[in-house]
Structure 1
Amino acid sequence: MAGHAQGTEELVNIQGELLVSIGVEDLYVGDDIECSRVCAISTSYPKHTHEEYIISANLKGIENVWVDNKDYVVPAGYVTVYNPMAIQSSQFCADGVEFVSLHINPETIKKVAIDNNIAHRDSYPLLQQGALKNDKIFRAIQECYLTARSSTEYKEESILWLLATLLEEEKPVTGRKRQSVNMAINNMKDCLDRKIDLSSLASSVGLSKYHFVRVFRQEVGIAPVQYHMQLRLIEARRMIKDGIRPIDVMADLGFYDQSHFINTFRKVMAMTPDLYYRSQEIKLS
């Protein structure tokens, strides 16, 4: 079950001047994650708590937070992290603050941690709380937010990548795991005519989904299912250059949603498949 919503709360004085405001936009609510973009001016959250893990990326402005009896100043580019049931409070600056916030079901993180021998079965993993300057986590939060809102096929691996950045320090990819990544890429090349899911990719190289996403992202730079899509788009471009009509390319490569194929191709090539096809005809004429 998932949905989108937005809302704003404002307080004005008798002259009608805005005193404080807090707005929630692009709220996505799923079974394992709730994400939103929040804008706030001259307002605060009093001491409170949540049952979820809360991970936020500050995009603009300064937030002052309190957690674990410690005060933190959180400028743009910083991350805030709260464990389940942590007592916290926030104060937002007069110039305005904008941040992306993720509320993650603790059972989701606990299961990943237990399945991959990161935490004990009788407790939730404790993340480092407070304000962090960590560009990798910052980017992972933004990616998770954008993916959860717009793409069901990439949502799981974006959450797993975020959890990997939170739960473990980055380790060098060893020779054996590098071989697993290369094997996965070869397996992807053998099935360009259809979508492939994360579970199939991970099991094909003998890794859990969590470890597969972690080592693949470290080695290649993007998540595995996204990389497989790039390989399919490269093949689509090659076929169109060979004179095959886009409608036939779409069918041969298993793109059953025409709008999805067009939009995905355009993001990579900056033009639609039909326009690219016509440009090849002009080049050959």
Structure 2
Amino acid sequence: MKLESLNETIFENIESSNGKFSKHFHDTYTIGLTHDGKFQSINQNQTTLSYKNSTRIINPGEVHYGNSDSWKYTNFYPKIELLAQIHEQVYFEKKIPIFTKHIIEDMTLYHLLLNFFLSAYENNDKLLMESNLINAMSYLIKNYTDTTRDYSGLFDDKLIVKNSIEYIKDLLDTNISLEELAMNSNLSKYHFLRVFKKQMGLTPHQYILTQRVHKAKELILSGEKLSHIPFSVGFNDQSHFIRNFRKIYGYSPKELQKESNFILYK
């Protein structure tokens, strides 16, 4: 049976990763487990090492990157709505939990998340999967939430570039120019570049590349033909697409298409 709260949520289980990840972000949370190896994670300009049996938490919109060394890990990318719902169930108030501790050494949390991941990958029944999800997320929220935000969309406080973000999403498959983005925000190109980088932590170009790669990953997992995807998300050629995809995810689009250890929960 389908679990509605996980609709369109991506899971990934990687046996071994070696290499660098470029600066990027996700509109969702990133919640992952390191099973073996090592990952040097740079998040919010702080460098932290993730070792075996640790949990990694990244808030929506946080720019991060890093280096992997024989890194075996599992990730999933829950939407803001899901954690806000569980926060409401725990505290009777719908808020967006924010976590400042990036790498968490807590075996109870590790095993709660591992149980949830296993039930998702084994396609267990709805009751077991949802119970494991709530047990893991409520433990995380109760023990590691440092602050909360009002449930009104995480990017609503970035008023100057909000219209540009929507503009980019609407025209992701086109050749968007800096002049278009600046005019859309009623700013000079110079001022727009400074404001966007300050608020988002990425240049407009880096932001657009990241969004294109995220969209491509969703299309691959939904069954779209690999040959059609680069052009449908705005890349001009296959090599440019593959290079940027690997920089963000650490594996190629073809690996994602072939392997059974990736899930788009639908």
- TM-score, normalised with respect to structure 2: 0.48
> Is the radius of gyration larger for structure 1 or structure 2?
1
Bigger RCO (CA 8 Å, 6+ sep):
2
Q: TM-score, normalised by structure 1?
A: 0.45
